[in-house]
Amino acid sequence: MSNSSPLNGKRIVLGVGGGIAAYKSVELLRQLVDRGAFVSPVLTQSSLRFVGETTFSALGSERARTSLWEGDDPIPHTLLGQRADVIVVSPATADLIAKYAAGIADDLLTTTLVATNAPVVMVAAMHTEMWQHPSVVENIATLRRRGVIVIEPESGRLAGGDIGVGRLATAERVVTTVEGLFSRADKRELLSGKRVLVTAGGTREAIDPVRYIGNRSSGKQGIAFAEVAADFGAEVTLVSTVPVTEGLAIKVIEVESAQEMFDAVFALADESDLVVMAAAVADFRSKLISPTKIKKKNGAPQIVLEPTPDILAGLGSAKRKNQVIVGFAAETGDPETEARRKLRDKNADFVVANNVLEPDAGFAVDTNRVTLVYGDSMVSLALSDKRDIASRILSFVAEWAFKQSVWSE
């Protein structure tokens, strides 16, 4: 396993925060080492209340460190920070997240975080109320703006028997994310010089100034496509119905309705080499929009629907030579059959199909399980982080396009 993993030979600092989920980082450590990584465990003093230093020393590539002041090295944080290919903090508690966001360096782990230029992955875990607290939300946003990768907690059983969001992500999910960092690093030129247009989120079709027809799409998969396309060297424009922090390599256009998305997409489509239609566009809208709030006392309104513009079909009919179009089929029945229909009827090159009723693969979650349909073939991608799904699909699409000389001059 280790020889085939992108982590083979990589130096990883595994920071362990002081939360009950610290015990799960033992399994993460084992999986990273199994993949050939040289892992240096760094435990906070708080973490030692939950796990033992000996366990991490025994399973790590070198003994676990717990203090700035131990051993012969007067500046261990500098050594760790400079040598690391990536730093993974698991669990990243609310306290650790706050310190890192503020630049506080008062122990070995936080000084190492401040003393590195390596990528940092924070695997968040805490109680639901803490994860939703405004200060934590703001700190997470700050870290993401700085390029830190935050793996959000999952839903499930928490300490004390509560159920909610806050559970530490699985070791498999963390390893997949870290491996993706290095596999993407090998593909930084894959879309170099290409203009990529991505759509994300669910449209909102107004009924009155207050209410709308919408869907459950969070935009996470579409945003992941935009981020990965930028990682691959593309010039990226993201048309999104959800707020996005605009990165240096991504131009963001915010829209709300299907018509607004249609207008934004077709203003850019002709100059785009690759269009990824990841947004969940409403199929229908209210034919009449009330200028004032519809009152309950007047009884149930009769809402007459009309079709929204079909963006994917429009792109397919106007597709120019050397342009590649990727559509999506988020279904509840037979996604592959619907994907093949879209591929045929809408003149797309690829359609990404998924069943939104499957666990951990629907709307508003960080993972997905999809099938990529193209020509007479299809490729199934197992459950993985949405960013990894985007990376694998864009790699396949780009390599296919070049192989077929789709983008040759």
Cα separation, 20 vs 6, whole angstroms: 30
Using alpha carbons, select from 368, 367, 372, 366 the residue that is nearest to residue 353. 372
Instruction: Determine the 3-state secondary structure of 304 from DSSP.
Output: coil
Angle of CA points 231, 234, 338, to nearest 5°: 90
Q: Is 368 one of the annotated active-site residues of the chain?
A: no
Q: Alpha carbon 189 to chain centroid distance?
A: 20
Using alpha carbons, select from 318, 311, 326 the residue that is nearest to residue 258. 311
Tokens of 198: 């991505």
Compute CA distances 242 → 132, 149, 218, 238, 239, whole Å: 18, 19, 7, 11, 9
Instruction: Determine the 3-state secondary structure of 373 from DSSP.
Output: strand
Using alpha carbons, select from 326, 328, 374, 367 the residue that is nearest to residue 196. 326
Residues 6+ apart with CB under 8 A from 183: 6, 391
**Start-end of H helices in 22-69:** 25-34, 53-59
Query: Residue 285: phi, psi to the nearest 5?
Result: -140, 160
The catalytic position among 3, 117, 139, 215 is: 215
Handedness of CA 178, 183, 186, 187 (dihedral sign): negative
Query: Residue 229: phi, psi to the nearest 5?
Result: -60, -40
Instruction: Determine the 3-state secondary structure of 193 from DSSP.
Output: coil
Angle of CA points 228, 180, 338, to nearest 5°: 60
Cα separation, 71 vs 272, whole angstroms: 56
User: How many other CB atoms sit within 10 Å of the CB of residue 144?
Assistant: 14
Active site residues: 215
